[in-house]
Amino acid sequence: MSKPIDVTIVGGGMITADQLLPSIYQLQRTGMVGRIEVCALDSSPLRVLKASEEFRQAFPEQEFIAHPSEAEDPQQRFPTLYKTVVAAMPKRQAVVVAVPDELHYDVIMEALRNEQHVLSVKPLVHRYTQAVEIEKLALAKGLFIGIEYHKRFDRRSLIARKHYESGDFGEFVMGEAKMIEPYFYRSSNFQKWFTWDKTDPFVYVGCHYVDLVQFITGLKPVRVSVSGVKGKFPNGNVGYLWANGRVIYENGAILSVTDGLGYPDEGAGSNEQCLMMFCEGAGKTGLIAHDDQFRGVEHSYLKGIGCAGSVFNYVSPDFFRLVPWEGPGYKPIGYGYDSVEAILGTIHRIENEVADLPAADSLTRRQAIIREVDARAIIATPANSNTNELVTEAARLSILNDGHMVNIAYGDSPHVELAK
């Protein structure tokens, strides 16, 4: 009998509601996950999760423990409560980090200090040195860190990687990616933290395609330039609402990435996303083209139950859907689920493999499995994806300098610098 792992999700916002919690509920059904706790800054998102009709229908027999309690005054803030909750967990379970980007580092370090494995939503952190610090501490303690770049688990990405590795496309030379999130994001919780000084659409969603191109090709990015267009959120905060970035790779290949918070709410969307990569072969060229928006399914509803209240929708059956199955309620399907399952499955496998080992052997075995997963590079880890942090640093430096080119210097102490 395998032993389930307990999970504490820190953060109760959009990504928890749309992907993480339903995936983890399903893993509780399969026996991989035991107790589920969710900790937020205040009770308001927890009340929403608790009252969700969708969850009641999909997971009629399941619940999570809320911190603070959903009965707590929603005006009351608990910025450090997650520390108490994580400290109270049995050792070597899983902490899922789903707070705004700038809090990832603190929550991950707290989890590691308390001997917990980690699933972190992307991006792991915004600074390369922090990624390396996390990688070293986690490996020393034999704790696994998985970064939830779910596009890696889209079947089309896995197929592209297999063919690229086999040389079936040739060598990547020129590409284009787009991810334009819906306009209504501007009036969500985003407006509180998506300010120009903290982040931008390239760092927020462009990172998915930057990660994916490296996942498919294994090429290292060496130069980055990002330009942005600022605008006001409904609460008056100013943020970059649009961004365009150019990433140049070690072989000279160029990827252009366009991102924004502005796909029309009335559109069939629910967002715009795509990837096109041209490759050079011997005497001919190769091509990878993914339409990640329109995946061949159209729905027109009687009521405005689509994205942002829309009626006619392009429906992606691939990312995350709750569908009928043989069991109670509905089950999640798609690469959003597969990705969470792969990361928590790795933690579960590690702990079950070492369950009967003496402490020293357990540590050695855990470290060996972590190195194996790093080397396989299917799941993003701090060791195999820290170029993402370098691209993020370079992008921030570039966008704050009007799109000036930024070089990524590798070597003994990788860093970024404005090009001369």
Ligand X SMILES: NC(=O)c1ccc[n+]([C@@H]2O[C@H](COP(=O)([O-])OP(=O)(O)OC[C@H]3O[C@@H](n4cnc5c(N)ncnc54)[C@H](O)[C@@H]3O)[C@@H](O)[C@H]2O)c1
Using CB atoms, what's the residue nearest to ligand X? 13
> Quick one: how many helices (H) and strands (E) in the chain?
15, 18
Where does 273-386 have alpha helices with state H?
335-354, 359-376, 382-385
Stretch that binds ligand X, among 7-15, 268-276, 294-302, 406-414 (CB under 6 A): 7-15
Half-sphere exposure of 340 (CA within 13 A, CB side): 30
Q: How far is the CB of 413 from ligand X (least distance, A)?
A: 26
The structure tokens listed for 204 are 């927020």
Specify the amino acid at residue 224.
V
Contact with ligand X (CB under 6 A) among 47, 117, 122, 348? 122
14 is a site residue for ligand X (CB under 6 A):
yes
100 is a site residue for ligand X (CB under 6 A):
yes
Whichever of 329 and 382 has its CB closer to ligand X, that residue is 382
Beta sheet of 65-67, edge-to-edge order: 65-67, 33-39, 5-10, 94-97, 117-121, 145-148
Whichever of 11 and 269 has its CB closer to ligand X, that residue is 11
45 is a site residue for ligand X (CB under 6 A):
yes
The structure tokens listed for 17 are 């509601």
> What values do phi and psi take at 221, rounded to 5?
-75, 140
Nearest-CA neighbor of 267 among 176, 184, 154?
184
Total chain residues near ligand X (CB under 6 A): 22
Q: How far is the CB of 100 from ligand X (least distance, A)?
A: 5
219 is a site residue for ligand X (CB under 6 A):
no
Half-sphere exposure of 184 (CA within 13 A, CB side): 12
Whichever of 57 and 189 has its CB closer to ligand X, that residue is 189
109 is a site residue for ligand X (CB under 6 A):
no
50 is a site residue for ligand X (CB under 6 A):
no
Stretch that binds ligand X, among 39-47, 48-56, 269-277, 366-374 (CB under 6 A): 39-47
Contact with ligand X (CB under 6 A) among 98, 390, 391, 399? 98
Nearest-CA neighbor of 239 among 274, 273, 189, 293?
189
Give me the residues that bind ligand X (CB under 6 A), please: 10-16, 39-41, 45, 79, 82, 98-101, 103, 121-122, 150, 189
